[in-house]
């Protein structure tokens, strides 16, 4: 679950004002007061931990230096403007669990010569509604009803552009990133391989036949060949494609070959989506398994499909001469 759906600036204000008001920061003390006035305490704590404004130690809330300084300086005047600036800084100026999601959101904006604006389609509005709403509360993004667009406010534009710039990769960085993704993908396959062996723990003969296919044939269209048991002792093949995904939205890339293989095997083909948790580790407890994904995903409005890569090839040999003849 995207916990940002349950985060608002007003509840953050309430929570941090409680820390300013009460010297006892134990959860046992703060929880009943907070829950009398707002919802989602656990998500609020999780969010503030994710952006490194506090930790939980021995059931007590421990603000970090920045938040503690804010609490001490604003124990009586409660300057919410300074609090919003602190949260914005943590979201935009430092790497956190939401950085990828935030970058994807800001990729919807473009410079129209006067300001950076976005006119998202329906699926993008839904996908990014949680971070959009929070940024609107914080004053980072505003809505223009005249043309149904959103724009980044001038006050925060430099911080957003710096965030985007800081994540632009050099060729060397890109190579390292690709290598890390390759390792992550292989680690995900190994975890699923062990998962399948354990799943078939009552079928030792089938366990021995589980195959790590991608190490043998990278063009097979799936990574692991396992088995599905039905009618107690009967088994059919289970073709598994493993994807390491973001825990925020489970986004993955699916090649044409993999899609065609999924269509070929239908109910015998499975997608195993293994999320990377906030600590950068693969989370088996959050594994999502989709049977017959070629049918399920393409007919499901809860999944956004984006064509991010196109393949082009010449059909007529005369096209080469035509292009050369029109070179400037």
Query: Dihedrals φ, ψ of 327, to 5°?
Result: -70, 140
> Which residue is listed with tokens 């004002």?
17
**What pLDDT was estimated at residue 308?**
65
Residue 168 binned pLDDT confidence (cut-offs 50, 70, 90): confident
CA distance 326 to 280: 51
Residues 219-240 have a mean pLDDT of 93
Contact in structure between 221 and 213 (CB atoms under 8 Å): no
The answer, as to whether pTM is greater than 0.85, is no
**What pLDDT was estimated at residue 97?**
83
Residues 203-213 have a mean pLDDT of 95
Cβ count within 10 A of residue 308: 5
Residue 267: strand, helix, or coil: helix
Task: Tell me the pLDDT tens digit for each residue of 46-78.
Answer: 999 999 999 999 999 999 999 999 988 875 555
For residue 148, give both structure tokens. 């149904």
Domains in the chain, ordered, with CATH? 1-92 (1.10.10), 98-168 (1.10.10), 172-299 (3.40.1350)
Task: Tell me the pLDDT tens digit for each residue of 270-309.
Answer: 999 999 887 788 999 999 999 999 999 999 888 888 776 6
CA distance 255 to 186: 17
> Which residue is listed with tokens 């935009």?
92
Q: What is the rounded average pLDDT for all residues in the chain?
A: 89
């Amino acid at each position: 679950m995207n916990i940002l759906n349950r985060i608002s600036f007003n509840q953050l204000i309430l929570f941090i004002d409680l820390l300013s008001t009460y010297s006892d920061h134990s959860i046992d003390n703060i929880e009943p007061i907070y829950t009398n006035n707002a919802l989602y305490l656990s998500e609020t704590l999780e969010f503030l931990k994710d952006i490194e404004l506090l930790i939980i130690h021995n059931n007590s809330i421990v603000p970090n230096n920045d938040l503690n300084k804010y609490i001490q300086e604003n124990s009586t005047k409660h300057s919410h403007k300074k609090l919003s600036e602190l949260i914005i800084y943590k979201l935009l100026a430092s790497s956190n669990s939401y950085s990828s999601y935030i970058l994807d959101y800001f990729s919807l904006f473009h410079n129209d010569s006067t300001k950076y604006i976005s006119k998202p389609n329906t699926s993008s509005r839904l996908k990014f509604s949680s971070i959009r709403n929070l940024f609107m509360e914080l004053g980072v993004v505003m809505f223009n009803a005249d043309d149904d667009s959103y724009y980044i406010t001038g006050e925060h534009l430099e911080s957003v552009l710096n965030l985007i710039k800081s994540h632009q990769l050099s060729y060397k960085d890109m190579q390292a990133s690709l290598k890390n993704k390759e390792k992550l993908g292989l680690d995900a396959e190994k975890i699923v391989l062990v998962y399948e062996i354990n799943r078939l723990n009552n079928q030792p003969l089938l366990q021995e036949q589980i195959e790590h296919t991608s190490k043998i044939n990278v063009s097979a269209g799936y990574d692991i060949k396992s088995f599905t048991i039905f009618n107690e002792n009967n088994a059919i093949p289970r073709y598994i494609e493993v994807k390491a995904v973001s825990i925020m939205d489970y986004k993955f890339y699916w090649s044409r070959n993999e899609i065609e293989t999924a269509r070929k095997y239908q109910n015998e083909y499975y997608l195993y989506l293994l999320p990377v948790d906030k600590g950068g580790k693969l989370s088996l407890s959050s594994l999502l398994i989709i049977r017959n994904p070629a049918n399920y995903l393409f007919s499901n409005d809860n999944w956004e499909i984006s064509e991010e890569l196109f393949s082009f090839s010449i059909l007529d040999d005369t096209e080469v001469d035509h292009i050369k003849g029109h070179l400037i």
